[in-house]
Amino acid sequence: MNILVTGGTGYIGSHTCIALLESGHSVIIADNLSNSKSESIKKIIDISKKEVTFFEIDVTDEEAVDHIFRNHEIDGVIHFAGLKAVGESVEKPLEYYYNNVVSTMVLTKACQTYGVNRFVFSSSATVYGDNTVPFVETMSLLPTTNPYGETKAMSERILTDFANVNPSFSVSLLRYFNPVGAHESGLIGESPNGIPNNLMPYVTQVAKGKLHNLRVFGNDYPTIDGTGIRDYIHVLDLAEGHVAALENQTEGVHVYNLGTGKGTSVLELVKAFEEANDIEVPFEIVDRRPGDIASCYAETSKAKRELGWSAKRDIVTMCRDAWRFEKNNME
Ligand code: NAD
Ligand code: UDP
């Protein structure tokens, strides 16, 4: 298939482009490089040994998106492009709603105009809010505590409403848990701008000596050691989940959790990282971070049953691959 990958130069998008190319699909990337670099393209080509087509465009720009659909035979869209910093979304709600919701509408409309019937959307476990773990696809969504989460819930709703009146349209809403790690080549990985918000890039930068010590946000949650529990998933497993979703798509709306089903606490992750890489990660316990929930992990049987996909890489592999990339990363 010929797949339009929006946000394809970003963290999850670049790994997914490689997985698509390795599975024999062709890739057209559309990215405005607001949170990634064009060097990603070269790295995707180096790793996969395949060509890709790249458009530096904003996917909220209807005209620019239309131009791609008009000039290329597109079989499906994977929509990664979006702003993703939870804290920033509270500061800049309009930017987040505009970027993340309008992009979904523009792409859906282009699919309608050009008869493209496959759509895969990057959603997030954040749409479950503070439900009881493990999160199951059939749960009612709860309000999230920030505009970022709301943009994901709104995009899911827009795609669902569109699919309901367009029976030949297939949409997969993929709810990611916590993607970490990097490609085993060490060439691509997560390279956030500024001080990382997320745990794993913070840990790798502390290990590298770039940051002083990790601040563990709270040790009084009702969890095994008091620190927050999350379902960390290797980005390559996540990438393969997209290929499985695309290749097994049937008409209608399908929601899948992409996680491992296993919860890991902050302190467990730190220990796993130290042991996997034989390096120390100094940390201090500080107050809880506002908006955080105690536990978040997936119920994963639906993706296994319907897509034949499940995550294979363990926490040690995630820690090793994240560290290999960080050591190579000169930024
Ligand atoms: P990323 O920032 O590395 O990649 C997103 C890419 O989209 C970037 O390359 C950016 O330049 C591009 N982009 C943003 N707005 C754009 C626009 N209007 N037009 C064109 N390009 C645009 O982020 P990521 O971690 O790879 O996340 C990919 C998707 O997965 C996002 O939608 C994110 O919300 C979602 N997601 C991520 C996580 C996570 O923890 N990383 C978890 C759940 C969901
Ligand atoms: N966390 C932490 N210190 C950090 C960053 C994160 O203790 O510097 C904790 C956070 O409170 C949560 C877990 O690590 O329990 C995962 O946080 P992250 O921001 O990576 O993901 P999310 O909150 O989106 O699940």
Residue-wise pLDDT tens digits, 85-112:
998 999 999 999 999 999 999 999 999 9
Q: To 5 degrees, how large is the angle CA 130–CA 135–CA 138?
A: 110
Q: Look at ligand 2, atom 19, and give the residue with the nearest C-alpha.
A: 198
Tell me the H-state helices in the chain.
Answer: 11-22, 39-48, 62-71, 86-91, 93-97, 103-114, 147-165, 199-208, 235-247, 266-277, 301-307, 315-328
pLDDT at 78: 99
Q: Does the domain formed by 2-180+233-259 have CATH 3.40.50.720? A: yes
Q: Look at ligand 2, atom 1, and give the residue with the nearest C-alpha.
A: 199
Provide the residue ranges of all domains of the chain, joining segments of one domain with +.
2-180+233-259
The C-alpha atoms of residue 52 and residue 39 are separated, in whole angstroms, by: 13
Q: What is the DSSP letter of 168?
A: T
The average pLDDT across 143-163 equals: 95
Give yes or no for residue 145 CB within 6 A of ligand 2: no
**Residue 291: pLDDT band with limits 50, 70, 90:** confident
**Selection from 241, 317, 321, 180 nearest residue 19 by Cα:** 241
State which ligand 1 atom lies nearest to the alpha carbon of 13.
Answer: 26
Q: How far is the CA of 199 from the centre of ligand 2 (A)?
A: 5
Q: Which residue matches tokens 């465009």?
A: 57
Instruction: Report whether 309 contacts 241 (CB < 8 A).
Output: yes
> Which residues neighbour 207 within 8 Å (Cβ) at sequence distance 6 or greater?
273, 277, 279, 280, 281, 323, 326
pTM of the model: 0.98
